[in-house]
Amino acid sequence: MPYSDAGLSALSTANGFTLWHYRTTDDRATVLAPGYFAPAAGRLLPGDIVFVQASDATAMVPIRSGTLPGGGVTVDGSGSQPALLRSVLLPFSAALTADAVARAILPDPLPGIVVTGEPITVGATVTGPIASVTFVLRTVGGADATAPVTVPVASGRAEAAFTAPPPGGGYRLLAREAADPTLFALSAPFSVVLPPRLLTEAGGRLLLEDGFLLLLA
């Protein structure tokens, strides 16, 4: 059966971490399959721990990015489902040890004005264990103006190339970690304009660079 929100309850919460209890008639393999906890994205956060009481096992399961469950530790593989009592007379506590790892993506400054159709080289300085970065140009409305480009990080740098999109204002460069889309950075807005045109004179008339007559209204 699919995930049931009624089976999930919080046991303890502190410092942004929550210990959960989840009871289900599904087996352990079904619960640990990718996407099972997707409906609980508004409740489960990366780093949370879930005590899963499945039909065939009881396991302590960590939650990764995007509600993806880790392999966890099987507490009881006999298929029995021990009861967890919550009472003021029986306090429950858990301790986790973790090391902080700094990760950051800092996009390079872009020109304030870019000419449409011309190549744009973008880059970012990367800090921490980030293997690859995905770049994409976004419109002022947040839609993708170009196809995303994923490049590896080398010596703390990542670079990619695009063709400038159609003329417009408010474009931004989005740079995000390929393995963890929650880590991202946006550049300052920039504008894309038409290429400049040259005027020539022939027979007392002004002509555009393509030879057409310039008319002034």
One-letter amino acid of 148: P
112 within a domain of the structure (yes/no): yes
**The CATH number of the domain where 189 resides is what?**
2.60.40.1930
User: Mind listing the pLDDT tens digit of every residue in the chain (217 residues)?
Assistant: 788 888 899 998 888 889 989 999 888 888 888 888 888 888 888 889 998 888 888 888 888 887 778 777 777 666 554 454 455 555 667 777 777 788 999 999 988 889 999 999 999 999 999 999 999 999 999 999 999 999 999 999 999 999 999 999 999 999 999 998 889 999 999 999 988 765 666 666 666 656 665 555 5
The greatest distance separating any two alpha carbons of the chain, rounded to the nearest whole angstrom, comes to: 101
Specify whether 112 is located in the same domain as 151: yes
**Structure confidence at residue 61 (pLDDT):** 87
Q: Which residues of 196-217 are buried (b: 16+ CB within 10 A; e: fewer)?
A: eeeeeeeeeeeeeeeeeeeeee
> pTM of the entire structure?
0.50
Specify whether 108 is located in the same domain as 189: yes
88 within a domain of the structure (yes/no): no
Specify whether 130 is located in the same domain as 186: yes
- List the domain range (segments joined by +) for residue 27: 5-76
One-letter amino acid of 210: D
202 within a domain of the structure (yes/no): no
- What is each CA distance from 61 to 11, 37, 64, 76, 161, in whole angstroms? 14, 12, 10, 13, 41
Specify whether 32 is located in the same domain as 72: yes
C-alpha angle 195-201-203 in degrees, rounded to nearest 5: 150
Specify whether 64 is located in the same domain as 10: yes
Specify whether 114 is located in the same domain as 181: yes
Specify whether 59 is located in the same domain as 132: no
- The separation between CA 195 and the C-alpha centre of its own chain, rounded to angstroms, equals 34
Q: How many beta carbons lie within 10 A of that of residue 77, not counting itself?
A: 11
128 within a domain of the structure (yes/no): yes
Please identify, among 40, 57, 76, the residue that sits at the C-terminal boundary of a domain.
76
Specify whether 55 is located in the same domain as 113: no
Helix (H) or strand (E) holding 30: helix 28-31
Specify whether 16 is located in the same domain as 71: yes
Specify whether 63 is located in the same domain as 114: no
Q: Identify the DSSP state of 217.
A: -
25 within a domain of the structure (yes/no): yes
Which tokens go with 182? 């929650």
Q: In the beta sheet, which residues pair with residue 151? A: 133
126 within a domain of the structure (yes/no): yes
The structural domain count of the chain equals 2
Q: Which residues contact 205 (CB under 8 A, 6 or more apart)?
A: 213, 214
DSSP string, 132-151: EEEEEEE-TTS-BSS--EEE
Rounded CA separation 33/61 (Å): 12
Specify whether 111 is located in the same domain as 58: no
Specify whether 134 is located in the same domain as 173: yes
**Structure confidence at residue 85 (pLDDT):** 47
207 within a domain of the structure (yes/no): no
200 within a domain of the structure (yes/no): no
